[in-house]
Amino acid sequence: MDRKVIIAGAGTMGASLAQVYAQADWDTVLYNRSEAGLERAERLIEMNQATLVEEGMLSAERSATVKKAIRMTTDISVFGSADLVVESIAEDLEVKQHFLAQVSAVAPDSALLATNTSGLHISDIAKAVRLPERFMGQHWINPPHLLPLCELVIGEKTSPETVERMRAIVVELGKTPVTVKDISGFIVNRLQYAMLREALYIVEQGAATVEDIDTVLKAGMGLRYAALGPFGVADHGGIDVFSHITDYLNEQLCDEKEGSRLMREMVKQGKLGVKSGAGFYDYSGDKAREAIRYRDRMYIDLAKVLYFRDDGDEKRG
């Protein structure tokens, strides 16, 4: 296929995705309804690229080329020449349906269409899409310019050809695709929220602190899962051992079907995390910016170990 991609939505995810495609030499356009949104995206891209250069992931010359390759526009007619559209606007079903109805009406019939939703059903969004067989989920993990994973979510109307073409695109981007049917939460969020539910339950019981639970993941479990995944860990530990443990431990695990009381209370207090200056940790003053920089450096260091070999080749799916 040709290589003109239009990223719709210039928020954190859209700005990061524009870098992913531009770095893979796609003709990349970042669309947003407002100029103010594009200006924020430009500043974010500049900051992201500066980090990549500082960490030795890109040369200054290559970074300059990537930034120059990203064109920005508020003109919706640009979708008329798209080969691929990746929508990353507000996480609202009606908003996405309205937008993609407009876009799919003007995009060439041969263009592939994707949504970066993290939880909405692909088949529901597709009800508003013209030629829904060319439409599917392309769920990236924040920030996609650093993390390799992309969940390709198959809707009821998605054609096998679309799945194969989209998988080939993600691999060509140097990223790692997985495919999943249109189940609630896909793979990532089902696993993420199952673990978060249990972590919150342990805190609410007073059995351990937030800091200690995070340390368990960072200093132990996270490393095991990053290297092997949960099924690989079980294989190495022994299926008989893991089966025996589930027999008595499962009944003790949290099975709360409603949201977390602790997090609802934090939301009422305005403790929303990094973006508000406080969450489970303190991000007041310059701590928020420092936390983002620390996160990005950690992601880069881990990616170098897990996904980039010494010869510079990237581990791909």
Contact 67, 45 (CB under 8 A): yes
User: ∠ CA 144-260-93 to the nearest 5 degrees?
Assistant: 50
Burial 93-129 (b: 16+ CB within 10 A, else e): eeebbebbeebbeebeeebbbbbbbbebbbbebbebb
- As a whole number of angstroms, the distance between CA 237 and CA 173 comes to 35
How confident is the model at residue 303, as a pLDDT? 80
In single-letter form, the type of residue at position 172 comes to E
Measured over the CA atoms of residue 290, residue 295, residue 298 and residue 300, the dihedral's sign is negative
How crowded is residue 206: how many other Cβ atoms within 10 Å of its Cβ? Answer: 7
How confident is the model at residue 293, as a pLDDT? 87
How crowded is residue 132: how many other Cβ atoms within 10 Å of its Cβ? Answer: 22
Question: Per residue in 167-223, pLDDT tens?
Answer: 999 999 999 999 999 999 999 999 999 999 999 999 999 999 999 999 999 999 999
Q: Would you state the torsion angle of the CA atoms of residues 66, 49, 141, 288, taken in this order, to the nearest 10 degrees?
A: -160
How confident is the model at residue 308, as a pLDDT? 60
pTM of the entire predicted model: 0.90
How confident is the model at residue 317, as a pLDDT? 41
DSSP string of 264-291, one letter each residue: HHHHHTT--BGGGTBSSSB-TTTHHHHH
Measured over the CA atoms of residue 235, residue 241, residue 244 and residue 250, the dihedral's sign is negative
Contact 304, 293 (CB under 8 A): no
In the sheet that holds 135-140, the strands lie side by side as: 70-73, 27-31, 4-8, 84-87, 112-115, 135-140, 149-154, 176-181
How confident is the model at residue 312, as a pLDDT? 43
In CATH terms, 4-181 corresponds, of 3.40.50.300, 3.60.15.10, 3.40.50.1100, 3.40.50.720, to 3.40.50.720
- As a whole number of angstroms, the distance between CA 88 and CA 241 comes to 43
Ranges of residues in the chain whose predicted pLDDT is under 70: 1, 308-317
Q: In the CATH scheme, what is the homologous superfamily, with its name and number, of domain 187-255? A: N-(1-d-carboxylethyl)-l-norvaline Dehydrogenase; domain 2 (1.10.1040.10)
How confident is the model at residue 304, as a pLDDT? 80
Contact 150, 140 (CB under 8 A): yes
- As a whole number of angstroms, the distance between CA 82 and CA 6 comes to 6
Radius of gyration of the chain (CA): 21
Domain segments of the chain as ranges:
4-181, 187-255, 270-317
